[in-house]
Amino acid sequence: MDTTSFADRDGYIWFNGKLVDWRDANVHVLTHGLHYASSVFEGVRVYDGEIFKLTEHSERLVRSAEILGFDIGMTVEEINKACIETVAANQIVNGYLRPVAWRGSEMMGVSAQQNKINFAVAAWVWPSYFDPEARMKGIHLQLSKWKRPSPETIPTESKAAGLYMICTLSKHAAEREGYDDAVMLDYRGLVAEATGANIFFAKGTTLYTPTPDCFLDGITRRTVIDLAKARGYEVVERAIKPEEMADFDECFLTGTAAEVTPVQCIDDYTFTPGAVCQTLIADYENIVHRRAAA
């Protein structure tokens, strides 16, 4: 694992209209986005030099900013161009892309009507393949004490920085207990998602996944639903009670970072990664690498 600080790397970051040296892409300590979480971002994968579903990510970034009450000041096409230039400048073949927009430091207080909107894109190497044998064993998850909030209390349809505070808290707590990650329930006590990924369960070839009414309907989530339907699997989106997890055969996470990752347990609920997980992992790898399906 690369332990180099993200503040001290070689390369270039697209920063407010131009590519700058990685180490020069800095903001002031009194940036509004740091103090009041007025920041939105995306996580995007690069496979074989191509950015996967870039336009969908850029469109969501613009929507997230609008929900938080600001205009990035760039079109989707301009955001796409900045992302492509950043990948090219850093010679990324398989990696990760982080576009981010935030309110600057012109005003410091809850109100920030006059603050400049900043925009940056960073990209770094992140291999897209996992060891197949290790991957199919499944990861271990813990149920978090933190719950996904109601959409009446926070803008849950945005990919905004503030929504991830409880994700960090949940993941840190899980790691301290020897787990890989955590699953959060929502404000009603229903299964919601992991800290940075959506969740699916399988019973036979029927998939069950929580309705995304208080968390992001992930781009990877939608991709996997399409792949599952193409395989003839039934996909059921509905409320899922925690105790129902005892009835499912398989479980997996989906997300830009997680891709399709099988789960072996959630606390005392156990699952056996099997044919459904294996098939969807292969189908997802085929689509992101533009290979023909088996």
Enter the tokens of residue 246.
Answer: 């005892």
pLDDT value, residue 14 = 98
DSSP 3-state of 122: strand
Confidence of residue 129 (pLDDT cuts 50, 70, 90): very low
pLDDT value, residue 4 = 81
pLDDT digits (tens, 9 = 90+) for 197-224: 999 999 999 999 999 999 999 999 999 9
Q: Which domains does the chain have, with CATH numbers?
A: 12-125 (3.30.470.10), 132-288 (3.20.10.10)
Enter the tokens of residue 25.
Answer: 């892409």
**Closest to 57 measured CA to CA, from 137, 2, 121:** 121
Q: What percent of the chain has pLDDT over 90?
A: 93
Distance between CA atoms of 80 and 57, rounded to whole angstroms? 9
Decide: 95 and 46 in contact? Cβ < 8 Å: yes
- Res. 121: pLDDT tops 70: yes
DSSP state of 243: G
Buried b or exposed e, range 104-123, using 16+ CB within 10 angstroms: bbeeeeeebeebebbbbbbb
Distance between CA atoms of 129 and 143, rounded to whole angstroms? 27
Report, as an integer, the average pLDDT of 43-64: 97
Q: Which amino acid, 2?
A: D
pLDDT value, residue 133 = 62
Q: Which amino acid, 1?
A: M
Catalytic residues: 159
Q: At what angle do helices 219-230 and 275-288 cross, to 10 degrees?
A: 110
pLDDT digits (tens, 9 = 90+) for 231-284: 999 999 999 999 999 999 999 999 999 999 999 999 999 999 999 999 999 999
DSSP 3-state of 262: strand
Neighbour tally for 236: CB within 10 Å = 12
What pTM does this model have? Answer: 0.94
